[in-house]
Amino acid sequence: MKIIMLGAPGAGKGTQAKVIAEKFGIPSISTGDIFRANIKNGTELGMEAKKYMDQGLLVPDELTVKILLDRVAKEDCKDGYVLDGFPRNIPQAQVLDKALEEQNEKLDFAIDVEVPDEDIIRRMSGRRACAGCGATYHVEHIPPKKEGICDTCGQELVLRDDDKPETVKNRLDVYHKQTQPLIDFYEAKGILKTVDGTMDMKEVSAAIAAILQ
């Protein structure tokens, strides 16, 4: 099963990608997490990506596409994967399609998690991410058992640099201009499925599970 998650930043793609991944025993792959891990480790890729991420801009395709294609070529992806945050523009989607075609493969579903912009800003200011394992929480909606501490690995939870309101606004603009056109792109391919992302997290998971059955 090969699935991509679509939706605005903060729509709940990562939250749901992890649920799907667990259910189907496939990896959930976030290009944002890969960049953040590189930033944390001080790599050249991380330093370059950070320049764009801090402004809410997309990291250039030359950097992004290669790390994604390398990642999906790994052994743990042989039975499929859920992509969270890739593709984010039409050229990225075309590169992915071409790479899959060359292996006689294709995507099964593009799941669009719909949340209006006004809800997004609220979600992002409450988002807390684990600096260790990348797990995501929300201070009100999806709190950790112990405030400020990751349930999974016990490390500290932090507000992402790019979740500050001024950056979120830029990220939403970038989403509408560059990423939203992917909805029509995958609709035309007949694999688009839409879910209402404003529901409770468990209800969103149930709606996605019904699609994937």
Asked if residue 175 binds ligand AMP (CB under 6 A), the reply is no
The single residue listed with the structure tokens 């992509």 is 83
Radius of gyration of the chain (CA): 16
Nearer to ligand AMP, 14 or 204 (CB): 14
The verdict on whether 71 is a catalytic residue reads no
Planar angle of CA 201, 207, 211, nearest 5 degrees: 140
- Count how many Cα atoms sit within 13 Å of the Cα of residue 201 in the half-sphere of its side chain: 18
Among 58, 93, 110, 124, binds ligand AMP (CB under 6 A): 58
Those residues with Cβ within 8 angstroms of residue 98's Cβ, 6 or more apart along the chain or in another chain: none
- Dist CA 150 CA 137 (whole Å): 8
The verdict on whether 160 is a catalytic residue reads yes
* Cα-to-chain-centroid distance, residue 144: 20
Nearer to ligand ADP, 80 or 144 (CB): 144
The verdict on whether 128 is a catalytic residue reads no
In angstroms, what is the minimal distance from the CB of 43 to ligand AMP? 15
Structure tokens, 108: 């099964």
Would you give the binding string for ligand ADP spanning residues 75-114, x where CB under 6 A is met?
Answer: ---------x------------------------------
Among 35, 81, 109, 186, binds ligand AMP (CB under 6 A): 35
Q: Which residues bind ligand ADP (CB under 6 A)?
A: 7, 9-15, 84, 123, 126-127, 136-138, 141-142, 199-201, 204
